[in-house]
Amino acid sequence: MRWGFALRIAARDALRHKLRSLLVLTMIALPVLVVSAAITLVVTSQVSGQERIERKMGAAEALVWSEYRKPVDQAPDPFDWERWPVGDRLAEAPDLTDVAAVLGPDAHFVERRTERVEVRDSDKRLISFTADEVDLTHPITRGLFELTQGRLPAGAHEVVVSEPSVEAGFAIGARIEIPGVEEPAVVVGVGNDATTYDGLKVFGPIGSLIADTGPRNTGASDEAPQVWLVEGVEVTWSDVQELNERGFFVGSRAVIEDPPFASAASWVQDATGGGGDQAETLTVVLLVIVMALLEVALLAGPAFAVNARSQARTLALVAMAGGTPRQARRVILAAGLVLGTLATALGLVLGVATARVFQPLVQRFNGEWFGPFEVPWGWLVPVAVFGLLSALAAAVVPAWLASRQDPVAVMAGRRADAAPDPRTPVLGLVLLLIGVAGAWFGTQGDYTSAVPVAASAVAAMVGMILVAPVLVTTVARLARPLPLPVRYAARDASRHRGRTVPAVAAVAATVAGVVAIGIAVASDDKEYVETYIYAHAVGDGQIIWSPEEEGRDAEAGLIALAEVAGKAAPEVEVTPMLSPDLGEAEREGDYVYWEVDHDVEGNDLGPMSHGGGGASSIGIAPDTSHVYLSEDVRERADEALAAGRAVVFTDQVEGERDVVLSRVVERDYEDEVARTPDLEVALPALLVRTEGVASVIAMLPEELARDRGLEPIVTGVHLSGVADEETQQLITKALQQIDPTAEAWIERGPRSQEWQTVLLVVAVAGAVLMLAGTLTATFLALSDARPDLATLSAVGGAPRTRRAVAGSYALLVGATGAVLGAAVGFVPGLGMASALTRGDLYSGNSGPYIDIPWLLIVSIVVLLPLLTAAIVWVSARSRLPLVTRIE
Amino acid sequence: MTAVLHLDNVTRVHGEGATRVAALRGVSFTARPGELVAVMGPSGSGKSTLLNLAGGLDTPTSGSVLIEGVDLSGLDVAGRARVRRTSVGYVFQDYNLIPALTAAENVALPRELDGDSRKEAREKAMIALERVGIAEVADRFPDEMSGGQQQRVAIARSVVGERRLILADEPTGALDTETGEEVLRVLRDFCDAGAAGVLVTHEARHAGWADRVVFLRDGLVVDEAAASGAYGDPLEQGAL
Amino acid sequence: MSVRQSLLALLEQGPMYGYQLRAEFEQRTGATWPLNVGQVYTTLSRLERDGMVAVVDHGGVDDRTEADGEAGTQSESGGERGQVSYQITEAGRAEVAEWFSTPVPRTQPARDELAIKLAIAVTLPGVDIGRLIQQQRTATMSALQAHTRTKRAGRPGALVGEIQSATEDLAWSLVLDSLVFDAESEIRWLDHCEARLRRASHQTKTASSIQPEESR
């Protein structure tokens, strides 16, 4: 039962074979490093409930606000949307005296208001920033803002800004003129906002930044628009619940620091009764971890196999000195333990160090300030266990094989591995079949379940490993008519399956992953291309503009823009597009649009926006030349328009019938919508079916529109014949001279370049892994086969022969693994692809789209092994002194 | 005295069908305490098979192998391993020390495998090393020692922990004649002190150190020479 | 003849009496080849005749009585007893030098009884050669074991506490080694004979076993 001598042998052996040890260390330490660095960064970037208290409420005891509902419900920590307005909507905010009544006379309140404010600078450039009105001189606000330059606001119109705002023009001394606020705000200080890292933010006293325009009633952002900081009393969970009853959300320092429930998650589960999704996610995460474990173990496996080989004599000696097979196994397992521990420790330390080094860099890409640097031991311990497990897993099979060896044969110098158990490949095939079946099963039914797909991928992977020995043996048999180096390499690989199989399996696993992702990504891309909805013909487009005014005022702007566009690019045909005038909304926040109702059940075309800048969904035109349509639809539509009829594009029914065009005003009260059609016009129309969704919902000839009292106004500008990006940019540039919000948008068709980039990255990563696996196995094999190669050169083999053997070995390992992996990769690949492209309610059940990236697969199966072999061939001779010593 | 090693009518057949080879055919063999028995014979005569059977590394096709009265055929792999660490020591031609362990650790190995603490095992190993006269190299690694020293370490390993059966397979094969003789002398001393030794060799000169010499041919014992032969001792006649 | 050269070589160390020479010789060769005193004096007189040694009269008083008889007859000086010692001459030194620089000739092998016995036995029917070889091998092995045992026990002189020089010990054990190697080579030769005889008989058997099949 003693590990002592096994560990001693393992540790000393690791020192004796430094190159081999380094290889294993790298293979295991690298993933541990990457994962632990990533986890450390993520955890550091996350702001926990307690860290957030100060950012949100400074030194206050609590934060109270209303979202115009009563009553409400909330988690102990109400931030991050852990709150639910369950009651009726209120017209006015509930009275703060209610809060005072609950919290008692000792409670004091400090108001804080936040709003998004837009101003234009002298160049008419729009600057948008967050205005934060709070008395920063009050001690309760300590922690909300950290002053770095200047001073805090003292006067009623003095403000301080966040550092990024300085670049936007708000340096100390700058005056910010805000529409609706009488006196401009003067910047007197610069500093850091507690939460946001890169946002433009301006702090000032109440009234200095935000125009008073009635009640603020939206809860549209996580930042409540008006809050009160509470001091003087500790707010308990029962206070919170009572305030909830009265329509207030409360973030209480005491409650968040010491929540009344064991964890927020359990509270959520209690509240929602959920948890099923979590189990599934957990299963998938576990399976992914198993896959990663397998891959790491496979990559490190050959090194342990060679270790076991070089220890064969030691193990035979242990057996002869009276060691049991279990004790012999331990010698190899101890190597896994020693190297695994070292690699894990190294990976963790380097990972945390890497995270520390990269923290400032990553902070730059993140808008929110990171929390303090944190080493998340709770996460790192499982990562360490993972590293150790993968090292042990890599050592298990070689250890098992080594303990089964015949000591007499080893001492007599017979080196071949025992014949493979005929049951192993059968079991492998069974697992492969289970994998295929599981992948198929996983994609059946309405919901694609990730668990069977992931499980089948693991099954297929394990099956593949079990089949690999037979494949290697078969290749050796097939190599008979080939030249000596290839034949030698093939036979050697087959004789030493203990080290060949892990290498082949590692390559196969990598290739399977790349092929699977490749198929999934390519199929997803195919779905994107095939379900792409054209807004215009390719090369056509429109001017996009976000005017401040609407209706008639916007029309003038559009016409001006159209003129500019025409001048900028004379070859482009610029056509102002007409739509019926919607008029103006009576009230701010109202949403007005046209709706076409053609009395067909289940064919609600939904609200069709009449955006000022974009082309309207209801067009007025003599023909459909500026609408993207298929030719036969266009012909029929043009005929109907010529005949004085409206044309309505649908996806279901066809034929001539009357439709009703309504002007709908929608008053938005969050999730309740008050719709009031205030104008309804009946139109004779032709309903035509179009593929997908047309960019225009209906068109009518100008006479018909005027006849029904619909005033045509310009609501969009169509551009056609914009051949290239340069012309497009030329037009955009010209447009932005007038208004920086305007631009030329041109239809370019589906663009799949991004996906190909993903594919490329995956392929390159796969290639690197595959290269690593093959090179490791090859050089280990070479060092293992040293006596044979010495014999080879003794009987007159040139160094060329040695290189040829090395190259052949790499080719064999690479190609066998790649073919196997490519075949196996189809299973999860097709599974993922059909799951991804099944389609949904909006696009209809058009999928699945399957696209197999043959180019990628062929280059991985054919080119990559050749490349690897070439690299080995070139470097084999110069590598000779590096090869580890074999006892 | 009871035999330390007893092979009773042992037959060992390797392979099957066309490749069937009988390595030993009905061999009986005994080694008693205090006795060094040499086994001679050409390659393929069954010498090594006999040695493998004697240590329980191999099992006979028929017949039985007894070590200190225990029949090995009644034991499983682990049981035979236990017999090896408590009763049998092997010495090989090329020393076969574990390169990652020091001399003392190599010698201590059977004891550690048997469950001794590291300290206990080392104490016993030091005693054995002193007996073979190289206690001073105890903390060297095998590649820091000469061939003769390594073989002495191997012999110390074979006797550590009061084991009484030394199975030596051409222990002097890789050494020059003089160093070889030193090693045989050590082996002989252990036998004189009460151990039983089996020395497999193809050199008559080495067999001369034995009390008895057994000649093997094609798996059969063809001849046996005891210490006092028909011709008597020529030296005694001349010198005294 | 090696006794002649051996004695000459011993005389190179300095003048010696006859019995002294004998003792020196036996000390070195470990009584393997016992010399009698008469042989020593015969050899010495021949050496004197050939001018290799010269007689020197010491007039010594501590002579041993063993050598008296022969010494007296050899005496050329006026002394009654054999107080005669011998000294090597220049010619003698030359002879010794030549002896050491010339390898022992192997062209004329010593007549080997065993080889002759086997050669005769092989040609005669009815002789169990296998048994002959086995018996011989057992015997030779026993002799070999005996030599080895002697060697382990150490030089017999050492047992009685005589002061021995290390070089003389070495000389003694080298002679023993030569016997060991002789015996070993004889055993190897016997092994070889056995193997050849077995192969020959196997071939005969195969040849004879084919015949009946042909005749069938």
Residue A606 pLDDT exceeds 50: no
Rounded CA separation A471/C172 (Å): 68
CB within 8 Å: B77 and A5: no
With contacts defined as CB-CB under 8 Å, which chain B residues touch C188? 204
Average pLDDT of the segment spanning C21-29: 80
Between A84 and A755, the higher pLDDT residue: A84
Nearest-CA distance from B240 to chain A in Å? Answer: 46
With contacts defined as CB-CB under 8 Å, which chain C residues touch B231? 139-140, 142-143
SS3 B194: coil
pLDDT of residue A322: 80
SS3 A20: helix
User: Which residue from A minimizes the CA distance to B56?
Assistant: A320
B137 touching C (Cβ < 8 Å): no
Output the six-digit token pair for C161: 């506490």
Is A409 part of a structural domain of the chain? no
Q: How many CB pairs under 8 A join B and C?
A: 93
CB within 8 Å: C145 and B213: yes
Rounded CA separation C77/C90 (Å): 22
- Mean pLDDT (chain A) is 76
pLDDT of residue A385: 86
DSSP A132: E
CB within 8 Å: A16 and B58: no
For residues A296 and A27, is the Cβ–Cβ distance under 8 A?
yes
Rounded CA separation A628/A538 (Å): 9
How many other CB atoms are there within 10 angstroms of residue A669's CB atom?
12
Co-location of A791 and A821 in the same domain: yes
CB within 8 Å: A321 and B100: no
Please give the angle made by the CA atoms of A45, A50 and A53, to the nearest 5 degrees: 100
Average pLDDT of the segment spanning A266-277: 43
Amino acid at A571: E
Rounded CA separation A834/A448 (Å): 9
pLDDT of residue A563: 87
Residue B235 pLDDT exceeds 60: no
CB within 8 Å: A323 and B115: no
Is A77 part of a structural domain of the chain? yes
* Cβ-nearest to B98 among A9, A326, A327: A9
Q: Which residues of A touch B (CB under 8 A)?
A: 1-2, 4-5, 8-9, 12-13, 16, 313-314, 317-327, 407-408, 411-412, 887
pLDDT of residue C67: 44
Nearest-CA distance from A313 to chain B in Å? Answer: 8
The H or E element spanning position B197 is strand B196-201
DSSP-assigned beta bridge partners for residue A238 = none
Co-location of A719 and A812 in the same domain: no
Is A362 part of a structural domain of the chain? no
Rounded CA separation A409/A702 (Å): 98
Rounded CA separation A541/A535 (Å): 8
The answer, yes or no, to whether B and A have at least 3 beta-carbon pairs within 8 Å is yes
* Cβ-nearest to B229 among C134, C138, C184: C138
For C164-187, how does the pLDDT look when each residue is reduced to its tens digit (9 = 90+)? 567 777 888 888 888 888 888 888
pLDDT of residue A443: 65
pLDDT of residue A258: 77
- The answer to ipTM > 0.85 is no
For A470-522, how does the pLDDT look when each residue is reduced to its tens digit (9 = 90+)? 888 888 888 888 887 888 888 888 877 777 887 888 888 888 888 888 888 88
Is A356 part of a structural domain of the chain? no
- Which residues, other chains included, contact A294 with Cβ-Cβ below 8 Å and sequence gap of 6+? A393, A458, A461, A462, A509
Chains in contact with A, where contact means 3 or more Cβ–Cβ distances below 8 Å, are B
Output the six-digit token pair for B16: 């099957």
DSSP A141: G
Nearest by Cα to B185 from B124, B125, B132, B145: B132
Handedness of CA B175, B179, B181, B184 (dihedral sign): negative
SS3 A53: helix
- Helix/strand/coil percentages in chain B, nearest 5: 40, 25, 35
For B23-67, how does the pLDDT look when each residue is reduced to its tens digit (9 = 90+)? 888 888 899 998 999 998 887 788 888 888 888 888 888 889 999
Omega within 30 of 0 (cis) for the link into A848? yes
Average pLDDT of the segment spanning A280-298: 71
Cα A443 → chain centroid: 22
For residues A32 and A391, is the Cβ–Cβ distance under 8 A?
no
Between A368 and A854, the higher pLDDT residue: A854
For C57-100, how does the pLDDT look when each residue is reduced to its tens digit (9 = 90+)? 655 444 444 444 444 444 444 444 456 788 888 888 888 888 88
pLDDT of residue C75: 42
Rounded CA separation A192/A201 (Å): 9
CB within 8 Å: B227 and C142: yes
For A564-595, how does the pLDDT look when each residue is reduced to its tens digit (9 = 90+)? 888 888 888 888 888 887 776 666 666 777 77
3-state secondary structure C93-132: HHHHHHHHHCCCCCCCCCCCHHHHHHHHHHHCCCCCHHHH
The answer, yes or no, to whether C and A have at least 3 beta-carbon pairs within 8 Å is no
For residues B108 and B119, is the Cβ–Cβ distance under 8 A?
no
- The maximal CA–CA distance of chain A, rounded, in angstroms, is 108
Beta strand B196-201 with B165-169 is parallel
CB within 8 Å: B233 and C146: yes
Is A740 part of a structural domain of the chain? yes
Co-location of A725 and A808 in the same domain: no
Q: Which residues of C touch B (CB under 8 A)?
A: 30-32, 34, 134-135, 137-150, 152, 156, 176, 179-181, 183-184, 187-188, 191, 195
With contacts defined as CB-CB under 8 Å, which chain C residues touch B42? 191, 195
User: Which residue from B minimizes the CA distance to A404?
Assistant: B77
Output the six-digit token pair for A190: 């610069």
pLDDT of residue B232: 36
Output the six-digit token pair for A304: 């342990």
With contacts defined as CB-CB under 8 Å, which chain C residues touch B234? 143, 146-147, 179
CB within 8 Å: B113 and A322: yes
For B72-123, how does the pLDDT look when each residue is reduced to its tens digit (9 = 90+)? 888 888 888 888 888 888 888 777 788 778 888 888 888 888 888 888 888 9
Mutate to test the interface with A, among B52, B58, B98 (most CBs of A within 10 A): B98
For A316-336, how does the pLDDT look when each residue is reduced to its tens digit (9 = 90+)? 888 888 888 888 888 888 888
Nearest-CA distance from C103 to chain B in Å? Answer: 23
Q: What percent of chain C has pLDDT over 90?
A: 0
For residues C27 and C168, is the Cβ–Cβ distance under 8 A?
yes
Confidence of residue A270 (pLDDT cuts 50, 70, 90): very low
Please give the angle made by the CA atoms of A549, A555 and A556, to the nearest 5 degrees: 95
pLDDT of residue A612: 35
Co-location of A192 and A245 in the same domain: yes
Residue A652 pLDDT exceeds 70: no
3-state secondary structure A549-594: CCHHHHHHHHHHHHHHHHHHCCCCEEEEEEEECCCCCCCCCEEEEE
Confidence of residue A366 (pLDDT cuts 50, 70, 90): low
Nearest-CA distance from B101 to chain C in Å? Answer: 34
**Which residue stretches of B55-117 are H helix?**
77-87, 103-113
Domain span at A524: 438-532+752-887
B199 touching C (Cβ < 8 Å): no
With contacts defined as CB-CB under 8 Å, which chain C residues touch B239? 30-31, 150, 156
For residues A322 and A8, is the Cβ–Cβ distance under 8 A?
no
Between A283 and A777, the higher pLDDT residue: A777
Rounded CA separation B29/B37 (Å): 10
Cα A421 → chain centroid: 44
Number of domain units in chain A? 3
For B208-218, how does the pLDDT look when each residue is reduced to its tens digit (9 = 90+)? 888 888 888 88
For residues B25 and B31, is the Cβ–Cβ distance under 8 A?
no
Handedness of CA A652, A657, A663, A664 (dihedral sign): negative
B237 touching C (Cβ < 8 Å): no
Co-location of A760 and A675 in the same domain: no
Co-location of A652 and A564 in the same domain: yes
For C87-136, how does the pLDDT look when each residue is reduced to its tens digit (9 = 90+)? 888 888 888 888 888 877 766 666 678 888 888 888 888 788 888 888 88
Q: At the top level of CATH, which class does the domain B5-98+158-227 belong to? A: alpha beta
SS3 B6: strand
With contacts defined as CB-CB under 8 Å, which chain A residues touch B98? 9, 314, 317-318
For A89-111, how does the pLDDT look when each residue is reduced to its tens digit (9 = 90+)? 766 667 777 788 888 888 888 88
Residue ending a domain, among A705, A726, A746, is A746
Between A174 and C63, the higher pLDDT residue: A174
Between A693 and A166, the higher pLDDT residue: A166
Mutate to test the interface with C, among B205, B212, B221 (most CBs of C within 10 A): B205
With contacts defined as CB-CB under 8 Å, which chain A residues touch B58? 408
With contacts defined as CB-CB under 8 Å, which chain B residues touch A2? 112-113, 115
Rounded CA separation B62/B141 (Å): 42
B24 touching C (Cβ < 8 Å): no
Residue ending a domain, among A272, A295, A328, is A272
* Cβ-nearest to A322 among B92, B96, B110: B110
Residue A611 pLDDT exceeds 80: no
Number of H helices, E strands in chain A: 26, 25
CB within 8 Å: B208 and C144: yes
For residues A398 and A305, is the Cβ–Cβ distance under 8 A?
yes
pLDDT of residue B199: 92
Residue ending a domain, among A746, A779, A799, is A746
Q: How far is CA A419 from CA A416, A423, B13, in A?
A: 9, 12, 21
User: Which residue from C minimizes the CA distance to B222?
Assistant: C134
Residue A724 pLDDT exceeds 60: yes
Confidence of residue B236 (pLDDT cuts 50, 70, 90): very low
Burial (CB count <10 Å: 0-12, 13-18, 19+), residue B160: buried
With contacts defined as CB-CB under 8 Å, which chain A residues touch B90? 320-321
Between A284 and A558, the higher pLDDT residue: A558
φ, ψ for residue B197, nearest 5 deg: -125, 140
CB within 8 Å: A2 and B115: yes
**Which residue stretches of A582-663 are H helix?**
631-642
SS3 A542: strand
For A828-880, how does the pLDDT look when each residue is reduced to its tens digit (9 = 90+)? 788 777 776 665 544 455 566 778 888 888 888 888 889 888 888 887 654 44
Nearest by Cα to A620 from A679, A576, A580: A580
Is A867 part of a structural domain of the chain? yes
Output the six-digit token pair for A684: 């004779």
B229 touching C (Cβ < 8 Å): yes
Beta strand A618-620 with A698-700 is parallel
